């Protein structure tokens, strides 16, 4: 019996690492599920903005997943979506004030997009599809995985756009001074093109893997 318990425990642990891993790659919120596109395109004109946005979103995702998972047996089914949105909005208000306290400049450059984390489909979809049905531990792992996956995707875009658009990464000059920067990369159109090319790249990799 002891063995069975142990095995069961092992299985459960296995599962919680799975929840963590899946957000990073297999179910990456941006590249695979195509969720939360607005911030992905809008604030990735520099790597710093992308990182800050990724961390802020991960924070809100983690906190709301925790709270929703704890309250999952108390929230009536009919009003669940509105309750989730209220919980998310509360944490977004918190992170909005936190960012303002840390760096006014960063707050300015992210602008309305911090408040707009409320309507990031990624967070609501995790709440509805995962946290409302799973235990606290799994929800935390899920939120961490998805949050890191989201931040990673934002950085993918942010770094490419900053390098090509201004020749820098996190404001360090990496391309030679005389590099003619591609202004289009920091304009809105550049966001669409960069994401399109990342998706093309991943599709290509998938295709090649499927063939071999």
Enumerate binding residues for another protein (CB under 8 A).
34-35, 37-38, 41-42, 81-82, 85-86, 89-90, 92-93, 96-97, 112, 115-116, 118-121, 124, 184, 187-193, 195-196, 199-200, 203-204, 207
Measured from the CB atom, the residue of 39 and 145 that comes closer to another protein is 39
Report the nearest approach of another protein to the CB of residue 107 (Å): 13
Measured from the CB atom, the residue of 70 and 184 that comes closer to another protein is 184
Report the nearest approach of another protein to the CB of residue 105 (Å): 17
Measured from the CB atom, the residue of 174 and 200 that comes closer to another protein is 200
Measured from the CB atom, the residue of 5 and 112 that comes closer to another protein is 112
Report the nearest approach of another protein to the CB of residue 9 (Å): 38
How far apart CA 38 and CA 203 sit, in angstroms, is 21
Report the nearest approach of another protein to the CB of residue 39 (Å): 8
How far apart CA 181 and CA 146 sit, in angstroms, is 33
């Amino acid at each position: 019996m002891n063995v069975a318990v142990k095995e069961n425990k092992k299985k459960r642990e296995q599962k919680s690492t799975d929840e963590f891993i899946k957000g990073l790659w297999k179910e990456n919120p941006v590249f695979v599920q195509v969720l939360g596109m607005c911030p992905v395109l809008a604030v990735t004109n520099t790597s710093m903005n992308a990182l800050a946005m990724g961390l802020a979103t991960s924070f809100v995702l983690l906190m709301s997943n925790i709270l929703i998972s704890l309250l999952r047996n108390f929230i009536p089914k009919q009003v669940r979506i509105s309750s989730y949105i209220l919980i998310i909005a509360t944490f977004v208000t918190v992170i909005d004030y936190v960012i303002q306290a840390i760096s006014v400049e960063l707050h300015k450059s992210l602008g309305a997009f911090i408040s707009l984390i409320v309507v990031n489909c990624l967070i609501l979809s995790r709440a509805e599809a995962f946290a409302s049905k799973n235990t606290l531990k799994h929800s935390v792992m899920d939120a961490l995985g998805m949050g890191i996956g989201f931040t990673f995707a934002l950085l993918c875009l942010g770094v490419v756009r900053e390098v090509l658009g201004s020749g820098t990464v996190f404001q360090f000059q990496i391309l030679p001074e005389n590099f003619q920067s591609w202004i289009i990369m920091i304009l809105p159109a550049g966001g669409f093109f960069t994401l399109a090319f990342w998706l093309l790249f991943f599709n290509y990799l998938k295709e090649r893997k499927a063939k071999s």
